[in-house]
Amino acid sequence: MSLDSLDAQVDTLRQEAATSSANFAREAKTITSNSNLSDEGKAAAKAEVNKQAKDHLRSLSRKETEAINMKVRDLERQLDAKAGSTASDIIAFRDAQDRAERFDQSEDAVKALERALRTEDNVLAHAIFRRGMEANWRDVLATFGNAYPEKKSIVSELTYLREAQRNTLARGMSYMWVNQ
């Protein structure tokens, strides 16, 4: 799935959420104005509408999160596949990940990444890149992208998607329901 396709899917989910919210609000308003229902009947009917709305919007939000996470996993697999697939490659990658996870500051990670690139230690370079992704260290991502121009588009897409994963405010606002 391309990034454009994912963006379209997210837009569709958010449009569905907006339409559903409007429909549920309209339904709650109809219940409120229904003179055939008692106050208890109105409250029970509105409680059911509120539950349905919350459940539906929560489901749409989960679908968006799953779509983004699936695309991130796909791109990460594309990058990790380049690190090697033999048993010794996998062990080396795990060791490199352990080393990379020790970095607390991007400056130290960039220095180690540059050293790994100079010595052509691709496994360590990929591990440091992954740590940079997790920590949102843009200088690490830029250094990695510049060193591997053929991977620059994947790095850009991952950076964009990681930001989308962290932007829970926009997602929360898109799928928010206020009891009617």
Domain count of the chain?
1
117 within a domain of the structure (yes/no): yes
67 within a domain of the structure (yes/no): yes
180 within a domain of the structure (yes/no): no
Residue ranges in the chain assigned as alpha helix (H): 3-33, 39-81, 87-101, 106-118, 122-135, 138-147, 152-166, 168-174
User: Under 8 Å CB-to-CB from 18, ≥6 apart: which residues?
Assistant: 174
12 within a domain of the structure (yes/no): yes
108 within a domain of the structure (yes/no): yes
179 within a domain of the structure (yes/no): no
Tens-binned pLDDT, residue by residue, of the chain (180 aa): 678 899 999 999 999 999 999 999 999 999 999 999 999 999 999 999 999 999 999 999 999 999 999 999 999 888 876 666 678 878 888 899 999 999 999 999 999 999 999 999 988 999 999 999 889 899 999 999 999 998 888 888 988 898 888 878 888 889 998 878
61 within a domain of the structure (yes/no): yes
139 within a domain of the structure (yes/no): yes
Tell if the pTM clears 0.85, that is, is over it: no
Range of the domain at 74: 3-174
Contact of 20 with 53, CB cutoff 8 Å: yes
